[in-house]
Amino acid sequence: MEKISRRKFIGHAAGTTAAVALTSGWLSAKPAAAALQFSQVALPYAQNALEPYIDSATMDIHYNKHHTAYIKNVNDAIAAENIAFSNEKEFFASASKLSPKARNNGGGAWNHNFFWESMMPGSKAPAGKVGDALNSTFGSFDKFKEQFTQAAMTRFGSGWAWLVNDGGKLKIGSTPNQDNPMMDVGDLKGTPLLALDVWEHAYYLKYQNKRNDYVAAWWNVVNWDAVANRMA
């Protein structure tokens, strides 16, 4: 019998292992895509920065309690239900197929991130392309505010008021609970540009049952620069 040198034996064994690996597919297999995870944005301002219009105590409970819970609950639902969407847009486009836990908490997670970034201290009336777009669509900025305020005030129970871009046209509307215009449910569809949370937890500590006072105060903290960036 021919003697096999140690070097040849190791080379032969390595080649055999590689062949087996290629046959089984584990060397050529692509890594599994990471499951979608929602995350909570950092507040872009201090917790008390929106006072006196939105108080620090409300911001603390709203951000650290309510929003944090939505983030945890939707990620738990994604893991438990093996939800395999690769991004939030796909997730919301299939909202009608999601469990109530996934849909409601996913909406709450995303909507609040959007809401925090829709506000800033020292807000001024919109100018430039935002002002022009509001004037041309609604007649004036004041008329836009009237229609948006009406959407916020007439949303029965809990929900959100929205300004959206629907195929190049600006629209105002509202959604119930934690739904948003990206979901395949409801009548309001479009790309969100601005949102106002009208759940009672957003204002009840300061304004009690006076939603109209809360909505009127909120106009003082709208981040129109963020709206302009979303319109780009």
Mean pLDDT throughout 66-89?
97
The partner residues of 162 in beta bridges, in order of sequence, read 173, 195
- Same domain as 68, residue 146: no
pLDDT at 26 over 80: no
- Same domain as 150, residue 86: no
Is there a domain that residue 18 lies in?
Answer: no
The partner residues of 222 in beta bridges, in order of sequence, read 119
Q: Which position has the higher pLDDT, 17 or 197?
A: 197
Q: pLDDT band for 232, please (50, 70, 90 cuts).
A: confident
- Given this model, what pLDDT does residue 3 score? 46
Give the number of residues written for the chain.
232
Phi, psi of 120 (to 5 degrees): -165, 155
- Same domain as 217, residue 134: yes
Tell me the CA distances in angstroms from 140 to 125, 144, 193, 227, one per residue in order.
12, 6, 18, 17
Mean pLDDT of the chain: 89
Count of domains forming the chain: 2
Q: How far apart are CA 35 and CA 55, in angstroms?
A: 36
pLDDT at 137 over 90: yes
pLDDT at 47 over 50: yes
pLDDT at 73 over 60: yes
Mean pLDDT throughout 171-180?
98
Mean pLDDT throughout 124-145?
96
Share of the chain above pLDDT 70, in %: 85
Query: Residue 190: which CATH number?
Result: 3.55.40.20
- Given this model, what pLDDT does residue 105 score? 98
Q: pLDDT band for 114, please (50, 70, 90 cuts).
A: very high
- Given this model, what pLDDT does residue 33 score? 52
Is there a domain that residue 155 lies in?
Answer: yes
Q: Which domain holds residue 61?
A: 56-116
pLDDT tens for 211-220 read: 999 999 999 9
- Given this model, what pLDDT does residue 35 score? 77
Q: How far apart are CA 146 and CA 138, in angstroms?
A: 10
Residue 164 parent element (H or E): strand 159-166
Q: pLDDT band for 34, please (50, 70, 90 cuts).
A: low
Is there a domain that residue 1 lies in?
Answer: no
Mean pLDDT throughout 123-151?
96
